[in-house]
């Protein structure tokens, strides 16, 4: 059994959509719907500027293009899991959400989170080498900072206001952890994003969500969900609540899934899975060639 994993914000890189031929028509549709230069964000090979309101739809578009590349090779997932923003692409891959509706949602989500971030500036940082319980305890010592992503046994992401994030980073380093600031310019997955929830809800209420055709696991609670009403609730909860990626990966593995494929830009999720599980196959697909190789028995060993 195979699970597709979709990365979220922070996985962006220059020219990330160029490897997937399916992204070209998606870019055209996206620019018509959003009315903004999405092509520049996801296709320019020299771009290193990531507008907070456009990077989310650009990553989402790339994730969906990757899923379409795999589907074009006759591959389909048994299960899907998205990391934060990646949940929208996971729902598209599972037939639960249309590309156009997902695009409208992530566009509003990105802009709403940007506005919330301007009111309460903050960011995110990865903490390496400390257990999540220890990280949570240190964050709880004071300040507007919280555990935001529970990614793997020894990788936790914290999020909060700039001042509190810096103070917590100092305490975590003193405790023996390594702290790395991420390319996320807002305090995602914290109460500081509460203002964004109402904006996303206003669009989400108008969007059709169907029962997924592949097993959809939410990174909000690490469980499988089929009820569209529950999926709506979780998409709102994830804006202010932590991502439980490790828990979700273990839940998928417990179903007998032994092959995980990261679909989209970067290799962060495939790296995390390798740290979480030692007895599964892990691949990543970030261009058409890897999608083709994954579908061809003679080339499968070339996929990394």
Q: Which residues are catalytic?
A: 84, 189
Map residue 261 onto helix, strand or coil: strand
CA nearest to 185, candidates 45, 9, 41, 6: 9
Which DSSP string do the residues of 172-201 spell out, in sequence order?
A: HHHTT-EEEE-S--S-TTSGGGHHHHHHHH
Q: Are strands 281-285 and 259-263 parallel, antiparallel or unpaired?
A: parallel
CA nearest to 208, candidates 237, 240, 236, 231: 231
Map residue 150 onto helix, strand or coil: strand
Question: How far is residue 181 from each of residues 64, 124, 126, 165, measured CA to CA in Å?
Answer: 27, 6, 6, 9
As a whole number of angstroms, the distance between CA 23 and CA 39 comes to 10
CA nearest to 196, candidates 280, 134, 120: 120
CB–CB of 57/105 below 8 Å? Answer: no
Longest dimension (CA), the chain: 55
């Amino acid at each position: 059994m195979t699970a597709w994993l979709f990365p979220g914000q922070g996985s962006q890189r220059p020219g990330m959509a160029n490897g997937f031929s399916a992204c070209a028509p998606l870019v055209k549709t996206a620019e018509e719907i959003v009315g903004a230069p999405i092509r520049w964000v996801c296709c320019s090979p020299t771009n290193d500027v990531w507008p907070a309101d456009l990077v989310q739809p650009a990553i989402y578009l790339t994730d969906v293009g990757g899923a379409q590349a795999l589907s074009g090779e006759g591959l389909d997932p048994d299960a899907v899991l998205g990391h934060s923003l990646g949940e929208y692409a996971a729902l598209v891959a599972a037939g639960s959400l249309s590309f156009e509706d997902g695009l409208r949602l992530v566009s509003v989500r990105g802009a709403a989170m940007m506005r919330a971030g301007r009111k309460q500036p903050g960011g995110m940082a990865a903490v390496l080498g400390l257990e999540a319980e220890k990280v949570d305890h240190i964050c709880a010592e004071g300040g507007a900072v919280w555990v935001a992503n529970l990614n793997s046994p020894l990788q936790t992401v914290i999020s909060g206001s700039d001042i509190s994030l810096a103070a917590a980073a100092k305490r975590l380093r003193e405790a023996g952890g390594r702290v790395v600031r991420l390319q996320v310019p807002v305090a995602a997955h914290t109460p500081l994003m509460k203002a964004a929830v109402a904006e996303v809800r206003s669009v989400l209420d108008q969007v059709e969500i169907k029962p997924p055709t592949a097993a959809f696991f939410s990174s909000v609670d690490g469980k499988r969900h089929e009820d569209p009403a529950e999926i709506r609730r979780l998409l709102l909860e994830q804006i202010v609540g932590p991502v439980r990626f490790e828990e979700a990966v273990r839940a998928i593995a417990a179903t007998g899934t032994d092959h995980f494929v990261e679909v989209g830009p970067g290799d962060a999720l495939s790296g995390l899975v390798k740290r979480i599980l030692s007895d599964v196959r892990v691949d990543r697909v970030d261009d058409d060639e890897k999608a083709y190789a994954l579908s061809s028995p003679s080339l499968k060993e070339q996929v990394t």
